[in-house]
Amino acid sequence: MKPFYMKARQTLQQLLSEVSHTENLHYLLENYKECNLKNCLKLLLRCKLEFYARNMLVEIFQEIMRYETHASALRQLIQNQNSYKVPAKTYQYIKSEG
């Protein structure tokens, strides 16, 4: 069980350092410093939660980047228009990219 416990500690340390939560790391490692089945499972569950949270952050940042690219393209499209009438194809494109 010791290898799993040590690997869970290292993984949690890496995941928390990626999101700058090192202050939480010291607290968690102090609470779960004893190598037993209960603490090993708790560390593994914390790793799973942190991994899920990291993936959610990545998805959020990807959506922000997607939004910014579409927003800048739409701003350019609006600025280039001489009138407020938009061709049907352009309207459908804007509507579908929404």
Q: What does the pLDDT profile of the chain (98 residues) look like in tens digits?
A: 888 888 888 888 888 888 777 788 888 888 888 889 998 899 899 999 989 989 999 999 999 999 998 888 888 877 777 666 777 888 888 888 75
Which domain, by its residues, includes 68? 2-97
Q: How many domains does the chain have?
A: 1
Q: What is the 3-state secondary structure (H, E, C) of the chain?
A: CHHHHHHHHHHHHHHHHHCCCHHHHHHHHHHCCCCCHHHHHHHHHHHHHHHHHHHHHHHHHHHHHHHHHHHHHHHHHHHHCCCCCCCHHHHHHHHHHC
- The whole-number pLDDT of residue 52 equals 93
- The whole-number pLDDT of residue 95 equals 81
